[in-house]
């Protein structure tokens, strides 16, 4: 594959940068939460963004991330680059590359960057025949650390008092890497975990609902779900409610919790109820089980982690690429439900 090239994922196009991207670049690169975490200062003007485009971004193997659904009219929402050999800040060979990436804040938490990095790694190892890919992050940059862990990079060394380029000062940094041999091993079917669950669905209430959504987000798995009108939840009583924190959810037509309970069961392949105290009479959790029975959907109930192997076995019987609805009591009713559900879903997705 020769440059310029455009790479594609399920939700993204990764294309070369253009000079007409300057306004979009400035809109996001001027955000103080973006650049400093990676060691570069926010852009101060549109002219500065044009200069960065011309001198830094419009080079081979540096990609603008755009949404494939066309909602942003081909507008870049982030950047991903492979700095090969001497172009890297690390002392690496000419057949190796360093990953660099950032994503605009409105798109955090949706699993977009791991999706893009996986495709660029495939391109690097298969098309460019790289022998290793490296990436660094400052200790304080949890977002970059999580992305690197999700795509298979592992710790190689710690750099103490690494200079903060263009910002002044120093900070500890971590260097991660993955070799071509390890990457190829991870692609082999025998080495892959079955993609049992493709999407997590939930109504967004505190407790089980929220634990499932947060675990999926952390691991880059898409989330969805029906929630009451106005995004109603016990800790979000006023519109837009929990939709401000979980915009992937869709509000229903009623503030009645029963509607979203039934719709989430209906629109899933199976439902998992995490209920540390069991199914209580006259509860929303019991209603979930009744809806599943009425609709003929598989419904699994778990009260502690010892039951997880049985849950995995039963989900395997349902199939792969599942949309799993996760429900259970709210945190105020059964304290500890959030933590248990988050751990259960983490293990299911891992």
Per-residue burial over 104-143, b = 16 or more CB atoms within 10 Å of its CB, e = otherwise: beebebbbbbbbbbbbbbebbbeeeebebbbbbbbeebeb
Residue 346 near residue 215, CB atoms below 8 Å:
yes
231 or 174, which is more confident:
231
Pair 180, 218 in one domain: no
Q: What is the pLDDT of residues 87-105, one digit of tens each?
A: 998 889 999 999 999 999 9
Residue 158 has pLDDT above 90, yes or no: no
Q: What is the pLDDT of residues 251-299, one digit of tens each?
A: 999 999 999 999 999 999 999 999 998 887 767 789 999 999 999 899 9
Q: What is the pLDDT of residues 163-198, one digit of tens each?
A: 656 555 666 788 889 999 888 877 765 444 446 788
204 confidence band (pLDDT: 50, 70, 90): very high
141 confidence band (pLDDT: 50, 70, 90): confident
Pair 303, 286 in one domain: yes
Domain assignment present for residue 2? The answer is no
For 318, what's the count of Cα atoms within 13 Å in the CB-facing half-sphere?
Answer: 24
Domain assignment present for residue 23? The answer is yes
Domain assignment present for residue 1? The answer is no
Residue 136 near residue 98, CB atoms below 8 Å:
yes
Residue 109 has pLDDT above 90, yes or no: no
Mean pLDDT to the nearest integer, 36-43: 86
Pair 27, 117 in one domain: yes
- Number of domains the chain contains: 2
Residue 156 has pLDDT above 80, yes or no: yes
Q: Last residue of a domain, which of 136, 156, 188?
A: 188
Residue 275 near residue 333, CB atoms below 8 Å:
no
DSSP letters for 214-256: HHHHHTT--EE-EE-GGG-BTTB-STTGGGGT-TTSEE-S-S-
Averaged confidence pLDDT in the chain: 89
Pair 268, 228 in one domain: yes
168 to 42, 91, 143: CA distances (angstroms): 14, 22, 22
**Residues 156, 160, 165, 168, Cα dihedral to 10°:** 160
Pair 86, 123 in one domain: yes
Residue 30 has pLDDT above 90, yes or no: yes
Amino acid 203: pLDDT = 96
Please report, for the domain that includes residue 309, its CATH number: 3.40.50.450
The residue range of the domain holding 88 is 7-188
Pair 224, 339 in one domain: yes
pTM confidence score: 0.55
Straight-line distance from the first to the last Cα atom of the chain, in angstroms, rounded to the nearest whole number = 33
Return d(Cα 119, Cα 56) in angstroms, integer. Answer: 22
């Amino acid at each position: 594959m020769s440059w310029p090239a455009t790479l594609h994922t399920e939700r993204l196009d990764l294309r070369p940068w253009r000079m007409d991207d300057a306004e979009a670049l400035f809109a996001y690169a001027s955000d103080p939460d973006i650049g400093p975490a990676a060691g570069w200062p926010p852009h101060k003007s549109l002219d500065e963004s044009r200069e960065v485009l011309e001198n830094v971004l419009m080079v081979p193997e540096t990609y603008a991330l755009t949404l494939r659904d066309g909602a942003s009219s081909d507008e870049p929402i982030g950047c991903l680059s492979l700095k090969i050999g001497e172009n890297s800040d690390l002392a690496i060979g000419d057949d190796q590359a360093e990953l660099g990436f950032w994503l605009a804040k409105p798109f955090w938490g949706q699993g977009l960057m791991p999706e893009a990095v996986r495709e660029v790694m495939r391109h690097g190892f298969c098309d460019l025949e790289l022998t290793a890919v490296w990436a660094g992050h400052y200790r304080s940059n949890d977002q970059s650390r999580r992305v690197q862990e999700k795509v298979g990079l592992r710790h190689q060394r710690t750099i103490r008092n690494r200079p903060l380029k263009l910002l002044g000062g120093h900070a500890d940094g971590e260097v991660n890497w993955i070799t071509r041999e390890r990457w190829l091993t991870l692609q082999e079917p025998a080495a892959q975990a079955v993609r049992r669950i493709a999407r997590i669905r939930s109504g967004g209430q505190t407790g089980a609902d929220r634990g499932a959504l947060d675990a999926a987000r952390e691991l880059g798995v898409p989330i969805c779900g029906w929630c009451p009108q106005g995004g109603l939840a016990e800790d979000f009583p006023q519109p837009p409610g929990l939709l401000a924190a979980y915009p992937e959810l869709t509000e229903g037509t009623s503030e009645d919790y029963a509607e979203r309970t039934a719709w989430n069961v209906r629109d899933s392949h199976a439902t998992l109820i995490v209920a540390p105290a069991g199914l209580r009479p006259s509860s929303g959790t019991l209603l979930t089980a009744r809806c599943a029975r009425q609709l003929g959907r598989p419904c699994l109930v778990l009260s502690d982690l010892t039951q997880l192997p049985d849950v995995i076995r039963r989900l395997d019987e349902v199939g792969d690429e599942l949309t799993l609805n996760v429900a259970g009591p709210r945190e105020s009713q059964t304290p500890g439900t959030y933590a248990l559900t988050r751990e259960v879903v983490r293990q299911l997705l891992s």
